[in-house]
Amino acid sequence: MNEPLRKDSFYNESLIGIFGPVQLIKRLDQSIHPLLPKLYLNCATDTKVGSHHLNDANIERWSKHGDVGYADGKGKIRIVLSQLANANTLLVTEQCDNLCLFCSQPPKNINDEILFSYAAQSIIAFNSDKMIGISGGEPLLKKNHILNFFKNLNQFKNKTPLHILSNGRAFKDKDFVDNFYRLNKDRRVLVGVPVYGTNSQSHDILVSSKGAWSETIAGLINAGNQGIEIEIRIIPTQLNYKEISSIVELVLTCCNHITRISIMNLEQMGWAKKNWSELYIEPRYYQDELVKSCEMGKRFGIDISLFNYPLCHIPDRIHKYARKSISDWKNAFEDKCDFCVLKPECGGFFTSIKDKWINPKERII
């Protein structure tokens, strides 16, 4: 039942020994970027060095010509950039200077600089004009890494729009903000920054880092003043559910260049699982805050959206602000949902949530 909508990981013995990003090819195509090694799937090929052939119906079914996957050398391949995906996101580091209580990608202190190279190569080869997500860890943690990443993309004149998820603390440094802005003049970059409180108390506890709120806010102000496009992300939890609309009002009154706000229902992933009972609060306990927040959109002239809120969990009047989940591989529905007339518009649940409460809006017979 809890099946995600798109499969992205595969195993094939023939892939043993192949390591790093490869591009999936299904037909002869001169326009494909020469940068990455090619993986030819069941098709006539040339015999260039660095090209591999593969006969795998599963991978073929779940990929399109030009998609990019990371092979781990042991036979596994994960398709990281696919034209079949709702949204593509690349992990560029697992290191972070926050330790969010609900972290979905708990940090590891390892040298994973290579992920930046993989990401740059993949984006260049994939050559899409649809936005690609950049996440971690904290992508801006090592400033020279991220700046080099942009330089690499610029070298190959890549203009793929990027959506970078960051805690924003690196933007406290004005020189860095300047460089960041300069290197992205020809590319649309949206930085998604979480703000969990109107003061340091709730925010610093939630990200387990004293001083985080202050640095994030200072970063938001600097980045906004420079003209960097910003998305503010807010996750309601037991510690901050009463101040959701106040956070929205505060950032929109004080900061520049905020182009959207995303209020996101907590996902039961990573560390959120073990802290679930202290963190999670059902939307019906803060629906007033959600309504107030959504209606600030028109006032301040920006888009405010709700993510990961099944429609039966939020009041009717804010259904129009609810978006389906960002990544398609997380969508799933319970059997009961088949009776619900709103199912086509609803994003469903995360594959990971146990003990869901469902209240389908039934058809009137």
**Is residue 233 within 8 Å of 262, Cβ to Cβ?**
yes
CB of 345 to other proteins, least distance (A): 21
Is residue 214 involved in binding other proteins (CB under 8 A)?
yes
CB of 177 to other proteins, least distance (A): 14
**Is residue 283 within 8 Å of 294, Cβ to Cβ?**
no
E-state strands within the chain: 9-25, 38-41, 51-54, 68-81, 88-91, 132-135, 162-165, 189-194, 229-234, 258-264, 303-307, 322-323, 331-332, 349-350
Nearer to other proteins, 23 or 305 (CB): 305
Is residue 243 involved in binding other proteins (CB under 8 A)?
yes
The encoded tokens of residue 104 equal: 């979905």
Is residue 300 involved in binding other proteins (CB under 8 A)?
yes
Nearer to other proteins, 60 or 173 (CB): 173
Is residue 246 involved in binding other proteins (CB under 8 A)?
yes
Is residue 206 involved in binding other proteins (CB under 8 A)?
no
Question: Which sign, positive or negative, has the C-alpha torsion 121, 124, 125, 129?
Answer: positive
Region from 7-15, 137-145, 209-217, 277-285 binding other proteins, contact rule CB under 8 A: 209-217
Q: Which of 196, 71, 88, 100 is nearest to 134 (CA)?
A: 88
In the chain, what are the helix, strand and coil shares in percent, each to the nearest 5?
A: 35, 25, 45
Residue type, 27: R
Is residue 318 involved in binding other proteins (CB under 8 A)?
no
* Residue from 255, 314, 332, 340 binding other proteins (CB under 8 A): 255
Region from 33-41, 102-110, 193-201, 268-276 binding other proteins, contact rule CB under 8 A: 193-201
Is residue 291 involved in binding other proteins (CB under 8 A)?
no
CB of 256 to other proteins, least distance (A): 6
Which residues here bind other proteins, judged by CB under 8 A?
198-201, 213-214, 217-218, 221, 225, 242-243, 246, 249-250, 253-256, 295, 298-302
